[in-house]
């Protein structure tokens, strides 16, 4: 008999762990819209479910798949990546200190700097890649959470998860990693010592730009995780049953989509590295990227589908290039099967760390030759 624990990631994903739908043995789960479950005359709930705010059966399979993929002990789905991230931050108590990198997903950074701080969470931002600054930022007895994102939006800095985990453990704190861009097909942060992995499942996990979702996976079901669970259960930032069903459907093709997007991104990165229209290609897969050595250590099966191009000629030309792209759609977000382009500095606005000449590309699964030709024609027309 097959030892299911030894099956490859691709097999587990394609079969979503091989679960069968309980009533009819369907290979695809049903959609369970009921918000409430019957209680027996004796007061028990034989189904083990009371109310669907966070007990909907449609969460079970995607959560189990994520747990398995990340090597965790428990997983939770949320209504968005942001609500997943906030469930972790809000597990802190007023007066607790947390550390986050200066380059990270813009909206979360903004929330931390504004609402998070007003709520009494003390936050230090440290330069990505600077381990000395990380150690110096620790406030003994107060630092309870390290938040990292790798590769980090939108310049794709790569931070060393095991080095951060060591500092976090020495401080008696938790390390949470936003691994949205790497996906569990490329990096498994728990293997490198992280306590919690976070995903904007809106991106690669779902992969089709049609579901907003988030996920957390924990290495251990400890007290901190207990507080995160209360935040979901009481806060109710949960995914609807149909969205959970769609997410599982998307996750079945995760491995193949991530593999293709990585191959395409690498082809684009190599083609435009040293190109006369391009000032710099920011992609962890390139030998010249400053995080390449760490990337080799903690990323496998490719370097992901996200890269940025810094355009020669500054902001004006970068905007003009984006305007002339035809296959890359000008839209925010990432991780879908279709390629997107975004001028991040103008989206992030005041206080952005993003260079004004930078175009962020979310590389999809189209033909790499078509994508390269699209960028070439846009550069040529703006020359
Ligand atoms: N983390 C990263 C790296 C992201 O790119 C995003 C969204 O763009 C988020 C978190 C937030 O996710 P969501 O939009 O699902 O709330």
Write a three-state SS string for the chain.
CCCHHHCCHHHHHHCHHHCCCCCCCCCCCCCCCCCECCCCCCCCCCCCCCECCCCCHHHHHHHHHHHHHHCCCEEEEECCHHHHHHHHHCCCCCCCEEEEECCCCHHHHHHHHHHHHHCCCEEEEECCCCHHHHHHHCCCCCEEEEEEECCECCCCECCCHHHHHHHHHHHCCEEEEECCCCCCCCCCHHHHCCCEEEEECCCCCCCCCCCCCEEEEECCCCHHHHHHHHHHHHHCCCCCHHHHHHHHHHHCCHHHHHHHHHHHHHHHHHHHCCCCCEEEEECCCCCCCCCHHHHHHHCCCCCCCEEEEEECCHHHHHHHHHHHCCCCEECCCCCCCCCEEEEHHHHHCCCCCCCCCEEEEECCCCCHHHHHHHHHHHHHHCC
Q: How far apart are CA 315 and CA 10, in angstroms?
A: 41
Q: For residue 304, how far is its CA from the centre of ligand 1 (angstroms)? A: 16
Residue 124's DSSP bridge partners are 99
Question: In this structure, what are the phi and psi dihedrals at residue 55, rounded to the nearest 5 degrees?
Answer: -125, 25
What's the whole-model pTM score? 0.98
Q: For residue 82, how far is its CA from the centre of ligand 1 (angstroms)? A: 6
209 lines ligand 1 (CB under 6 A): no
- The pLDDT of residue 2 is 78
Q: How far apart are CA 322 and CA 343, in angstroms?
A: 7
Establish whether 105 is a catalytic residue: yes
- The pLDDT of residue 303 is 98
- The pLDDT of residue 250 is 98
Q: What is the CATH number of domain 254-381?
A: 3.90.1150.10
Q: How far apart are CA 27 and CA 21, in angstroms?
A: 6
- The pLDDT of residue 123 is 98
Establish whether 54 is a catalytic residue: no
- Residue 163 to residues 158, 159, 221, 350, Cα–Cα distance (Å): 12, 8, 23, 32
110 lines ligand 1 (CB under 6 A): no
| Pairing label, strands 196-200, 214-218 | antiparallel
- The pLDDT of residue 6 is 86
Q: What is the mean pLDDT of the chain?
A: 97
- Pick the catalytic residue from 54, 178, 357, 374: 178
176 lines ligand 1 (CB under 6 A): no
Low pLDDT (below 70) residues in the chain: none
- The pLDDT of residue 351 is 84
- Contact between residue 215 and residue 198 where contact means Cβ atoms under 8 Å apart: yes
- The pLDDT of residue 39 is 96
Length of the chain counted residue by residue:
383
Q: For residue 200, how far is its CA from the centre of ligand 1 (angstroms)? A: 5
Q: What is the CATH number of domain 7-251?
A: 3.40.640.10
121-142: per-residue pLDDT in tens? 999 999 999 999 999 999 999 9
Establish whether 178 is a catalytic residue: yes
Q: In this structure, which residue's CA is closest to atom 6 in ligand 1? A: 200
Sheet holding 143-149, edge to edge: 74-78, 214-218, 196-200, 174-178, 143-149, 97-101, 122-126
Which residue among 77, 78, 79, 82 has the greatest number of ligand 1 atoms within 8 angstroms of its CB, and so is best to mutate?
82
Greatest Cα pair distance, the chain, in angstroms, is 77
Establish whether 310 is a catalytic residue: no
82 lines ligand 1 (CB under 6 A): yes
Domain boundaries, the chain: 7-251, 254-381
């Amino acid at each position: 008999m097959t030892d299911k624990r030894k099956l490859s990631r691709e097999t587990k994903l394609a079969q979503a762990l091989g679960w069968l739908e309980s009533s009819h043995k369907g290979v695809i789960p049903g959609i369970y819209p009921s918000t409430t479950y019957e209680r027996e005359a004796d007061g028990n709930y034989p189904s083990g479910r009371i109310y669907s705010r966070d007990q909907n059966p449609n969460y079970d399979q995607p959560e189990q798949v994520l747990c398995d993929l990340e090597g965790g002990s428990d997983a939770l789905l949320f209504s968005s990546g942001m609500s997943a991230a906030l469930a972790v931050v809000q597990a802190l108590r007023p007066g607790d200190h947390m550390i986050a990198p200066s380059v990270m997903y813009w909206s979360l950074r903004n929330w931390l700097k504004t609402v998070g701080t007003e709520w009494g969470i003390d936050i230090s931002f440290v330069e990505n890649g600077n381990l000395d600054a990380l150690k110096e930022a620790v406030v003994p007895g107060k630092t309870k959470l390290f938040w990292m994102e790798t590769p980090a939006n939108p310049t794709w800095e790569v931070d060393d998860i095991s080095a951060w985990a060591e500092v976090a453990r020495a401080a008696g704190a938790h390390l949470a990693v936003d691994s949205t861009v790497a996906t569990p097909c490329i990096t498994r942060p728990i293997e490198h010592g992280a306590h919690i992995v976070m995903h904007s499942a809106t991106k690669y996990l779902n992969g089709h730009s049609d579901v907003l979702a988030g996920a957390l996976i924990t290495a251990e079901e400890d007290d901190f995780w207990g507080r995160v669970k209360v935040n979901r259960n009481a806060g109710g930032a949960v995914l609807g049953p149909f969205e959970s069903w769609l997410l599982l459907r998307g996750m079945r093709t995760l491995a193949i989509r991530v593999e293709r997007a990585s191959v395409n991104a690498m082809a684009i990165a190599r083609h435009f590295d040293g190109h006369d229209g391009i000032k710099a290609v920011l992609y962890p897969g390139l030998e010249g990227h400053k995080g390449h050595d760490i990337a080799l250590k903690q990323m496998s099966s490719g370097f992901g589908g996200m890269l940025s191009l810094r355009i020669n000629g500054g902001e004006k030309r970068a905007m003009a290039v984006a305007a002339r792209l035809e296959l890359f759609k000008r839209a925010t977000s990432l991780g879908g099967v279709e390629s997107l382009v975004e001028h991040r500095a103008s989206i992030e606005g005041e206080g952005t760390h993003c260079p004004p000449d930078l175009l962020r590309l979310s590389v999809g699964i189209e033909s790499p030759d078509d994508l390269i030709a699209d960028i070439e024609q846009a550069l040529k027309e703006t020359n």
